[in-house]
Amino acid sequence: MTTTDHGNAIGSDDSVIPQAWETYKAEDHAIWRRLFERQSKLLVGRACAEYLAGLDQLGVCADGIPDFRKLNEVLDRTTGWQIVAVPGLISEAAFFGHMAERRFVATRWIRSAAQLDYLQEPDIFHDVFGHVPLLTNPAFADYLQAYGRGGLKALRLGALDMLARLYWYTVEFGLLRTPDGPRIYGAGIMSSKGESIYCLDDPHPNRIAFDLKRILRTRYRIDDFQETYFVIDSFEQLMGETAPDFAPIYRQVAELAEIEPGDVLPTDILVDRLFDGRTDT
């Protein structure tokens, strides 16, 4: 079992705890405010409209660390999701079990001023600012619940390495195609200053049209910005394409070679070219 910088062994404590919002100190709220102000400026014209609408609806703002009780009132009225607080990384079985029941697990600790730009594991800014706004979107909310159910099944089938790539390349690092160009919906990008600029503006990474089997074969980097982003057309597409039974898909994909993070295949549709008005052939 690995111990992380934050001192939690993954899966060592799956308990749901109170957020204990009253116990945050002025410094904690000040860190939230710095992070919120920095990201919310950057995300205009970069984050997808669904995300920005959710942020607004939830009342997540620069005032300070949000109180889960208030967020849960809004979520209850919109998609029926709830946020539950956990001490840190929890076991995969517990993580997917909550998700399958429309409960999103969020950490309650916030990074220190020295860790503003890089974290090895999620804190409340990543979890709440990055993930929670899209839980107000009905199609995304259904996708995440379906992912939780799929996660429990993948655990039984021994296919979690494959399925975890889908989470990574959609929920954490996904881009959405819009008439104005690609926009961010992935929480890992949303909560990162550097990557929210890099993923859209830098010529280096590949931006490839969503392709389920292709994603299940693609390794990912956890130590640097992504080499490849996958671009969906809509959250309905994401839900539709991941609705089928994955068991036969896992068997097919297991026979195929893995794809390295930066590889481009002849069959890939590069989205930048579509926006340039050139063809993808």
User: Could you list the active site residues?
Assistant: 126, 131, 172, 191
Residue 51 or 168: the one with the smaller Cβ distance to ligand HBI is 168
Q: Of Fe ion, ligand HBI, none, which one does residue 145 interact with (CB within 5 to 8 Å by kind)? A: none
Phi, psi of 230 (to 5 degrees): -105, 135
Please tell me the distance from the alpha carbon of residue 226 to that of residue 175, in angstroms, as a whole number.
Answer: 12
Q: Are 239 and 143 in contact (CB under 8 A)?
A: yes
Q: Least CB distance from residue 199 to Fe ion, whole Å?
A: 15
Residue 246 binds ligand HBI, judged by CB under 6 A: no
Q: Least CB distance from residue 179 to Fe ion, whole Å?
A: 28
Q: Of ligand HBI, Fe ion, none, which one does residue 170 interact with (CB within 5 to 8 Å by kind)? A: none
3 state SS of 97: helix
Q: Of ligand HBI, Fe ion, none, which one does residue 86 interact with (CB within 5 to 8 Å by kind)? A: ligand HBI
Phi, psi of 219 (to 5 degrees): -70, 160
Q: Least CB distance from residue 65 to ligand HBI, whole Å?
A: 17
Residues 18-57 that bind ligand HBI (CB under 6 A): none
Q: Are 187 and 223 in contact (CB under 8 A)?
A: no
How big is the chain, counted in residues? 281
3 state SS of 41: helix
Q: Of Fe ion, ligand HBI, none, which one does residue 92 interact with (CB within 5 to 8 Å by kind)? A: ligand HBI
Residues paired with 206 in a beta bridge: 228
Closest-approach residue to Fe ion (CB):
187
Residue 71 or 90: the one with the smaller Cβ distance to ligand HBI is 90
Residues 59-88 that bind ligand HBI (CB under 6 A): 86
Please tell me the distance from the alpha carbon of residue 92 to that of residue 175, in angstroms, as a whole number.
Answer: 25
Residue 144 binds ligand HBI, judged by CB under 6 A: no
Record the tokens describing residue 204, joined without a space. Answer: 């280096």
Q: What does the H/E/C string look like for 139-185? A: HHHHHHHHHHHHHHHHHHHCCHHHHHHHHHHHHHCCEEEECCEEEEC
Residue 167 binds ligand HBI, judged by CB under 6 A: yes
Out of 90, 166, 184, 232, the only residue in the binding site for ligand HBI (CB under 6 A) is: 90
For residues 94 to 133, the per-residue mask of contacts with ligand HBI, x marking binding by CB under 6 A and - elsewhere, is -x---------x-x--------------x-----------
Phi, psi of 137 (to 5 degrees): -90, 120
Q: Least CB distance from residue 67 to Fe ion, whole Å?
A: 20
Query: Which residues 6+ apart lie within 8 Å of 57 measured at CB?
Result: 74, 78, 136
Residue 58 or 187: the one with the smaller Cβ distance to Fe ion is 187
Residues paired with 82 in a beta bridge: 103
Query: Which residues 6+ apart lie within 8 Å of 203 measured at CB?
Result: none
Q: Least CB distance from residue 169 to Fe ion, whole Å?
A: 13
Q: Measure CA 171 to chain center.
A: 3
Q: Number of residues in contact with Fe ion, rule: CB under 5 A?
A: 1
Would you tell me which residues interact with ligand HBI (CB under 6 A)? 86, 89-90, 92, 95, 105, 107, 122, 164, 167
Task: Please give the residue ranges that form the binding site for Fe ion (CB under 5 A).
Answer: 187
